[in-house]
Amino acid sequence: MAQVGLARQRLARVVPTLVLVVAAVFFIAPLLSMARFALQNVQVFQLGTSNLFKNWSFSEVTRAFHEPAFGSTLLLSLRLALGTVLLTLGLLIPTALLVHVKLPKARAAVEFFTLLPYMVPPIALVAGVIGFIRPNARWFVSSNYSLIPFYVVLALPFTYRSIDAGIRAIDVRTLIDASRSLGAGWGTTLRRALLPNLRSAIISSSFLTATVVLGEFTMAQVLLKRTFPQFLAEFGRKEARGGIALALLTLVATTALLGLLTLLTRRKGATGRRGGLAETLTAGPITVPSERA
Amino acid sequence: MIELIGEDRTATGAVPPARRSWAWLGLVPFFLFLLLFLVLPALGVINRGLHTTSGSYSLEPLGQAFSKERKAFLNSIRISLLTAALGAVLGTLLAYAAATARRPKWLRSLVTSFSGVAANLGGVVLAFAFVSLLGAQGLGTRILKEAGWDLYAHGFKLNQFKGFSPGVSTAYLYFQIPLMVLVTLPAIDGLKQSWREAASNLGGSTFTYWRRVGLPVLAPSMLGGFLLLFANSFSAFATAYALSNQANLVPVKISFYLQGDNSSGKSPMPYALATWMILIMMVSMAGYLVLRKRAERWLR
Amino acid sequence: MTALSFHGVRKTFGPTVALYGLDLDIKDGEMITLLGPSGCGKTTALRIAAGFEFADSGIVEVGGADISGTPAHRRNMGMVFQSYSLFPNLSVAQNIDFGLRTRKIDKPQRQKRVNEMLDLVQLGEFAGRYPHQLSGGQQQRVALARALAPQPQLLLLDEPLSALDAKVRATLREEIKRIQTELGITTLFVTHDQDEALAISDRIGVMSSGRLEQLGTPTEVYRRPSTAFVARFVGSMNELRGAVTGDSVDVLSYRIPVPAAAQHATGTPVLLLVRPEDFELVTEPDQGLSGTVTGVTFQGATTIVGVRLDVLDQLVNVETRAGADPVIGSRVAVAVDGTRGVCEPAHVVVAAVSTTAA
């Protein structure tokens, strides 16, 4: 008799398993077909059982490297990423520390402002750049590096959250008091006591910022800046297979970097983990925006 | 004892009043920065969106923008409604399946990590991935054809913007579903096993449990997630643009008018469209935040 | 008449055996407690009765009918959980109404029943509140009302008091007992707290490692524990090493008459288990075992005096009612009343010297 009940309990697990399998197919299929398109030189309509394992090579992946714009756009994007990371950290760490240590009353206001970028998506922000900033400061917008402050804004909701979570996890007050009572000045306190403890939060917010910048397409496209994503789109229109191969490479590189940084931020003990990458991606007042690219 | 606490507080360095009054100056860079690079540009957009060509304030440009780009609005709204609804339902199902799966221990963290990546995978890379899958030369297109379902014979096109734009919508689901997984997972973790047991103990079937307890508890999170997904899809630019730079969607139209505006800069059109965009974002994001608060009340 | 019975119910979770063939009959209107440490199988037994788990083999009967395969929602049992588990989206009244609605009772009757239940648990004015607006104790009373509203054949209580603080726990314990007696509903109660079990039950089943060690009234379980495990788990116990002589146990030269000793052959080395209240401090040194006071714990009506006996250095607790408490370090003599003592062959226990309290 009890077997009936046991069987029914097992049956209840069928639906979730089915959901997981269907989801796996949906999410893996585009990646697989992208990989085949990039690595196998056989037209889709000719593909059959006989040539399924023929003509695989990495030659398409390296094709983009010979494009003259490849190096310059990648370099620009890397520079933009570096600039955005530095400006983000320089702006947010003092602000977040100040809010925690001296101005807890300002917390709600600061948090509200860090969520504002959600209300102004990149396409609206770039309209503001063209319609408001360019008429007043043409010299500024004409520089490639004028993208940096806007990229800081786009990444703000989750970079701030990451740093905020990191600060919340360590007892900032006690650290400051301990350091100051040992005779350290503010500079030393920041450098020797606070920043090392915020390592994990700094790494993950830097990484998040960098991925946003290296994937951002909207503003660069509308402002006609030759960044890497802009090059990728243009190259793909010209060379379908080469573009897909480069997209695959970009994806693999980003994922590898993500994996590496997840390990980096996880290695430290329980205290270092708050504000880590996994947490920033999965929890908190609001989740990661997609299509910020 | 009371004296001790008092002493302790000054000893651990609460700031002397004289210096505290200057501390707010430290926030000036942050707010000045946001004012310059976010608030003023956004206000500038709204300001220009509310000016007619002759220079007078009016709601007219908003109405004109809507009627002139009615098709783009309809396409954007349809795609956003469809992918937000499907994304909300499928994302919740996937999150539920991942949260309740016991067997491979790594399954749950795989799903959350992957969702973190995929939710951010909008843009050029995603567009190319779907071209290679569902384009005219796509692997998926070929496989479906072999299975007897010839997409392109039935008028399907990946970069077609008509009706619910099935090609674009499918591509959008690739980041919409993972985003929903990230949004609802905490709510699903908050569903207690004992609620389910209590419901069946009181004579309720699985269906009764979901209708009267499970879904009502998840509802604020799901509805909030729906709004977030709607906003996300409505403002999405890169994926659609990479699939077709002629895409008839509001964000792509804004970029089109902006590039036309490079010379003269008189037409309120792109700014009126962008004002619509900001308004829609504000309404849906505010709804999302309110519903999130509501959901948190139960999930302690 | 038997309300609920387990016949040879066996349950395993992977390699661990949760229940080794449980046999238990619960009489109509009786309140039975399954008592034991965590992992002893008591909760598994309850969950099998409720239909949340299904046995690998064996039969569960309610009123003589086999329900082993019946799904939980067709079993007509009321259950109260440790974690309250009120539905957070429903008000107090709607929570209580839940089981009535699933039974398709018409509205006026349901309304009436909900009000009765609210009165029963004395929460009439809280009908419109939501669970997160109530204290833990109030939530658990609502849970009790919710479980009882559909007039179930059986009430199942799964550690309902464990999450509450001490004071609320005591009040609610009395309230559960009052309601159970008032309604005369057959109840299976699961707890790891021996005080709760002793206070509330008609009979107690003490469980250990998936087996039922003893089933009896609270007095029986406390006064005549059938195994050393029960003796140690229910109430606190002193352990004395000695040897059997007829119907007595000799602790060196001190002879303690112990009826239970007669089961063992003369000369068997045993551990004699005797409760602290069966020990007494005496004035004449030759009337007991001599020792040194090591601790004095005032407990209100009684005082627990810890004594290190000279014999074999054994540590015992003595419960006294005397007004004058001894001073730590002073020399005393302890008399032992072995009438209710339990003997355990000593070779079973490795290196048992000190006392046990639970």
User: How many CB pairs below 8 A link B and C?
Assistant: 74
Q: Strand C16-27 relative to strand C65-66: parallel, antiparallel, unpaired? A: unpaired
Order of strands, sheet of C2-13, starting from the edge strand that comes earlier in the sequence: C16-27, C2-13, C57-62, C65-66
Q: What is the pLDDT of residues A122-180, one digit of tens each?
A: 999 999 999 899 888 888 999 999 999 999 999 998 889 889 888 888 878 888 888 88
Chain C residue numbers with beta carbons less than 8 Å from the beta carbon of B103 are: none
pLDDT for res B299:
59
Residue C346: pLDDT over 80 = no
Q: Strand C31-35 relative to strand C186-191: parallel, antiparallel, unpaired? A: parallel
Minimum distance, in Å, between the CA of residue C95 and any CA atom of chain A: 26
Q: Could you tell me which chain B residue has the CA closest to the CA of C90?
A: B213
Which of A126, A217, A255 has its CB closest to that of B238? A217
CA dihedral C101, C105, C110, C116 (to 10 degrees): -110
Which of B202, B216, B297 has its CB closest to that of C99? B202
Rounded Cα–Cα distance for residues C334 and B63 (Å): 99
Instruction: Tell me the pLDDT band of B300, cut-offs 50, 70 and 90.
Output: low
CB-based contacts of A186: which residues, under 8 Å, 6+ apart? Answer: none
Nearest residue to C93 (alpha-carbon basis) of C69, C67, C111: C111
ipTM over 0.90: no
Cβ contact (<8 Å) for A3 and C51?
A: no
Minimum distance, in Å, between the CA of residue A17 and any CA atom of chain C: 21
pLDDT for res C356:
40
Order of strands, sheet of C342-345, starting from the edge strand that comes earlier in the sequence: C254-257, C248-251, C238-245, C269-274, C342-345
Cβ contact (<8 Å) for C70 and A5?
A: yes
Give the Cβ contact number of residue C358 at 10 Å. 13
Task: State both tokens at A16.
Answer: 């979730």
Residue B7: pLDDT over 50 = no
pLDDT for res B21:
63
**Neighbour subunits, C (≥3 Cβ pairs < 8 A):** A, B
Residue C117: pLDDT over 50 = yes
Instruction: Tell me the pLDDT band of C167, cut-offs 50, 70 and 90.
Output: confident
Q: What is the pLDDT of residues A13-39, one digit of tens each?
A: 888 889 999 999 999 999 999 999 888
Which of C57, C66, C69 has its CB closest to that of A5? C69
pLDDT for res C343:
82
**pLDDT averaged over chain C?**
86
Instruction: Answer whether B191 touches A (CB < 8 Å).
Output: no
pLDDT for res C212:
92
Higher-confidence residue of C349 and C214: namely C214
Chain A residue numbers with beta carbons less than 8 Å from the beta carbon of C70 are: 5
Minimum distance, in Å, between the CA of residue A287 and any CA atom of chain C: 25
Q: Strand C248-251 relative to strand C254-257: parallel, antiparallel, unpaired? A: antiparallel
pLDDT for res C109:
93
Instruction: Tell me the pLDDT band of C1, cut-offs 50, 70 and 90.
Output: low
Rounded Cα–Cα distance for residues A189 and B29 (Å): 21
pLDDT for res A88:
95
pLDDT for res B161:
78
Chain A residue numbers with beta carbons less than 8 Å from the beta carbon of C51 are: 5
Order of strands, sheet of C77-80, starting from the edge strand that comes earlier in the sequence: C77-80, C154-158, C186-191, C31-35, C203-208, C211-216
Residue C81: pLDDT over 80 = yes
Nearest residue to B80 (alpha-carbon basis) of B168, B181, B185: B168
**B5-32: average pLDDT:** 62
Which of C90, C99, C156 has its CB closest to that of B203? C99
Q: What is the pLDDT of residues C299-340, one digit of tens each?
A: 778 888 888 888 777 788 888 876 667 788 888 888 888 888
Give the Cβ contact number of residue B180 at 10 Å. 32
pLDDT for res C323:
66
Cβ contact (<8 Å) for C57 and A2?
A: yes
The one-letter code for the residue type at A66 is H
**A182-205: average pLDDT:** 82
Minimum distance, in Å, between the CA of residue A30 and any CA atom of chain B: 5
Task: State both tokens at A151.
Answer: 């990229």
Task: State both tokens at C6.
Answer: 């387990």
- Provide the β-strand partners of residue C290: C333
DSSP letter at B48?
A: H
Interface of C with A (CB under 8 A): 51, 54-60, 66, 68-71
Q: What is the pLDDT of residues C260-279, one digit of tens each?
A: 777 888 888 888 888 888 88
Give the Cβ contact number of residue B117 at 10 Å. 18
Higher-confidence residue of B168 and B3: namely B168
Q: Could you tell me which chain C residue has the CA closest to the CA of A3?
A: C69
The full DSSP string for chain A is -HHHHHHHHHHTTHHHHHHHHHHHHHHHHHHHHHHHHHHB-S-GGG--STTTTSSB-SHHHHHGGGSHHHHHHHHHHHHHHHHHHHHHHHHHHHHHHHHHHT-GGGHHHHHHHHHGGGTS-HHHHHHHIIIIIHHH-HHHHHSGGGHHHHHHHHHHHHHHHHHHHHHHHTTHHHHHHHHHHTT--HHHIIIIIIHHHTHHHHHHHHHHHHHHHHH--HHHHHTT---HHHHHHHHHHH-HHHHHHHHHHHHHHHHHHHHHHHHHHHHS-HHHHTT-HHHHHH-SSSPPPSS--
Cβ contact (<8 Å) for B194 and C102?
A: no
Q: What is the pLDDT of residues B190-245, one digit of tens each?
A: 888 899 999 999 999 999 999 999 999 999 889 999 999 999 999 999 999 988 88
Q: What is the pLDDT of residues A265-287, one digit of tens each?
A: 665 444 434 444 444 444 333 33
- Give backbone dihedrals phi and psi of B296, rounded to 5 degrees, phi first: -65, -25
Alpha helices in B52-165 (DSSP H): 60-68, 70-100, 107-118, 124-134, 139-146
Task: State both tokens at B285.
Answer: 């994001």
pLDDT for res A107:
87
Q: Percentage of chain C with pLDDT > 70?
A: 96
The one-letter code for the residue type at B148 is G
The one-letter code for the residue type at C320 is T
Cβ contact (<8 Å) for B198 and C79?
A: yes
Q: Percentage of chain B with pLDDT > 90?
A: 44
Instruction: Tell me the pLDDT band of B262, cut-offs 50, 70 and 90.
Output: low
Minimum distance, in Å, between the CA of residue A269 and any CA atom of chain B: 19
The full DSSP string for C193-225 is -HHHHHHH-SEEEEEETTEEEEEE-HHHHHHS-
SS3 of residue C43 by DSSP: helix
**pLDDT averaged over chain A?**
83
Cβ contact (<8 Å) for A5 and C58?
A: no
Which of C54, C67, C74, C75 is the best mutation test for A, with the most CBs of A within 10 A? Answer: C54
**A218-232: average pLDDT:** 93
The full DSSP string for C110-126 is HHHHHHHHHHHTT-GGG
CA dihedral A67, A68, A73, A75 (to 10 degrees): 110
Rounded Cα–Cα distance for residues A26 and A21 (Å): 9
The one-letter code for the residue type at B136 is A
Buried b (16+ CB within 10 A) or exposed e, A249-271: bbbeebeeebeebbebbeeeeee
Cβ contact (<8 Å) for A2 and C51?
A: no
Handedness of CA B58, A118, A148, A74 (dihedral sign): negative
**C149-170: average pLDDT:** 90
Cβ contact (<8 Å) for B133 and A33?
A: yes
CB B118 within 8 A of CB A254: no
Residue B265: pLDDT over 80 = no
